Amino acid sequence: MIRAYKFLLRPTVRQAQALGEMLRDHCSLYNGALQERRDAWRHPSKTSVQYGVQSAQLKEIRAFDPERQGRWSFSSQQATLRRLDKAFAAFFRRVKSGDTPGYPRFRGVSWFDTVEFPKDGDGCRWDSTPHDPVTRVRLQGVGHVKVNQHRPVAGHVKTVSVKREGRKWFVMLTAEQDQPKPLPATGSVVGIDLGIANFLADSGGAFVPNPRHGRRAAARLQAAQQALSRFPRCKARDRTGNHRRAVEKVAHLHGKVRRQRLDHAHKTALGLVRAHDVIAHEDLKIRNMSRAPAPKPDPGRSGVFLPNGAAAKAGLNRSIADAGWGVFLTILHAKAESAGRGVIAVDPRNTPPDSVRGHPHPHLPPLRAHRQGEPAHTGKVPLRRLRTYCARGHRGSTQPSTGRAGPSRRRPGIARSPVLKDGEESRQTGRVTSRKRNAPS
């Protein structure tokens, strides 16, 4: 199996400058190759330039510009050209399938952050100083860079990539290793449901609270974005010092929220994998759930639109993105595969729509109970449908997982009132309903 590792680099001032120049030159190569393809297609001959033609030109390019392009690894430049070729392949695939095409765009220096070395030992060398207790990685044109290796690397290193995130530099490895030994069997099968009021509810009655990292950082992020909006839009090289610091502040806050969300997903997934042999979850479409509602034109007035709930849907979409269901399910599948566990995506159709244990409103959709503001300490679980997930997962249903769950449109803490018949007493107010008293006079 292939496992990825990510470590923080500790470059010197000169090495950091060289790393920035390496990204700049690879970005220039990417943009030049894109321009060549555009010009060839706009020519009356409609010539199509492929990766093989552009890769064959690298030798001449390196000889023509030895100070910049000739300074870096030939294999890394080939990987950059291959990256552009993949972008065009994806563009033509979307055109053929009828999706939004998305033509490949030119990259600015601040939008090109990764350089890949396809093979360890060709332009790069992981652990280049084995006699030194400090781990280093050698990069052609940069030198031996210190690595903050916080865990050992198992297996044979295949590829090495260098990535810039803000002011920090990271090295990413892919290592080929044997299938790890599976964890001891526990005999437990569990069904889970993802939500908004609570991040997760399982068939055993346990809840995982939703940390809401994005909402907690919203005020600071709003202030940072307001400070950034006071500067005029300009190219990166024309920004003042205060402008650059404002950009870095916004990027730092977004990066912190992203890391917090990943940390929570890793810890939650690890707990599930250690405790259960089979984990079943809903196979729903997150992208469809977070789609903006279609406009509703007024049939009586031209150019006028009726309310379509877009404002409320925007808040719901923000909560779905903040929960990070897709990231969590991706991590859960990866950890389960490494531990020898089973994760099954169950089709939510034809599951029982009733019976929530202990819920005061039996007609409320069960899988939405903990999304309606159900407090985590009550122990009320959408038991029947989650047990259905467990049964389907135990039978070995194999549905492709996309990781979507369906939240409610209601705000947390607001429960739907039960439908009471004439003469029944309300559990919340103690009043007896009467159709005659509510009837219009």
Q: What is the pLDDT of residue 386?
A: 58
Is 423 inside a domain boundary?
no
Of 16, 29, 148, the residue nearest 85 (C-alpha): 29
Of 125, 238, 219, the residue nearest 171 (C-alpha): 125
Asked whether residue 353 carries a pLDDT value surpassing 70, the answer given is no
Q: What is the pLDDT of residue 46?
A: 87
Q: Which amino acid is at 35?
A: Q
Q: What is the pLDDT of residue 365?
A: 34
Q: Are residues 259 and 163 part of one domain?
A: no
Q: What is the pLDDT of residue 432?
A: 41
Domain that holds residue 225: 189-394
Is 335 inside a domain boundary?
yes
Is 283 inside a domain boundary?
yes
Q: What is the pLDDT of residue 117?
A: 96
Q: Are residues 160 and 98 part of one domain?
A: yes
Q: Are residues 363 and 306 part of one domain?
A: yes
Of 87, 112, 113, the residue nearest 102 (C-alpha): 87
Asked whether residue 377 carries a pLDDT value surpassing 60, the answer given is no
Is 204 inside a domain boundary?
yes
Would strands 114-117 and 124-126 be described as parallel, antiparallel, or unpaired? unpaired
Q: Are residues 124 and 218 part of one domain?
A: no
Is 54 inside a domain boundary?
yes
Tell me the CB-side half-sphere exposure of residue 262, using CA atoms within 13 A.
6
Q: Which residues are CB-contacts of 228 (< 8 A; sequence separation ≥ 6)?
A: 243, 246, 247, 249, 250
Arithmetic mean of pLDDT, 82-107: 94
Q: Are residues 146 and 118 part of one domain?
A: yes
3-state secondary structure of 347: coil
Q: What is the pLDDT of residues 381-410, one digit of tens each?
A: 445 555 566 665 555 544 434 433 333 333
State the average pLDDT for the chain.
82
Asked whether residue 345 carries a pLDDT value surpassing 80, the answer given is yes
Which DSSP symbol is given to 362?
A: T
Is 435 inside a domain boundary?
no
Asked whether residue 128 carries a pLDDT value surpassing 70, the answer given is yes
Arithmetic mean of pLDDT, 250-258: 95
Q: Are residues 199 and 313 part of one domain?
A: yes
Q: What is the pLDDT of residue 224?
A: 97
Is 412 inside a domain boundary?
no
Query: Considering its fold, how many domains does the chain have in total?
Result: 2
Q: What is the pLDDT of residue 264?
A: 96
Asked whether residue 317 carries a pLDDT value surpassing 80, the answer given is yes
Please give, one letter per residue, the 3-state secondary structure of 260-318: HHHHHHHHHHHHHHHHCCEEEEEECCHHHHCCCCCCEECCCCCCCEECCCHHHHHHHHH
- For residues 33 and 85, is the Cβ–Cβ distance under 8 A? no
d(CA 173, CA 150): 13
pTM recorded for the entire structure: 0.76
Q: Are residues 160 and 13 part of one domain?
A: yes
Is 51 inside a domain boundary?
yes
Arithmetic mean of pLDDT, 229-252: 92
Q: Are residues 95 and 129 part of one domain?
A: yes
Asked whether residue 101 carries a pLDDT value surpassing 80, the answer given is yes
Arithmetic mean of pLDDT, 321-346: 92
Asked whether residue 428 carries a pLDDT value surpassing 80, the answer given is no
Q: Are residues 348 and 228 part of one domain?
A: yes
CA 214, 219, 224, 226 dihedral sign is positive
CA distances, 166 to each of 242, 249, 254, 409, 414 (Å)? 16, 10, 11, 36, 41
Q: What is the pLDDT of residues 17-73, one digit of tens each?
A: 999 999 999 999 999 999 999 999 999 888 889 999 999 999 999 999 999 999 999
Q: Are residues 203 and 127 part of one domain?
A: no
Q: Are residues 121 and 234 part of one domain?
A: no
Q: What is the pLDDT of residue 175?
A: 94
Q: What is the pLDDT of residues 147-173, one digit of tens each?
A: 999 999 999 999 999 999 989 999 999
Q: Are residues 320 and 386 part of one domain?
A: yes
Arithmetic mean of pLDDT, 191-200: 91
Asked whether residue 180 carries a pLDDT value surpassing 90, the answer given is no
Q: What is the pLDDT of residue 391?
A: 61
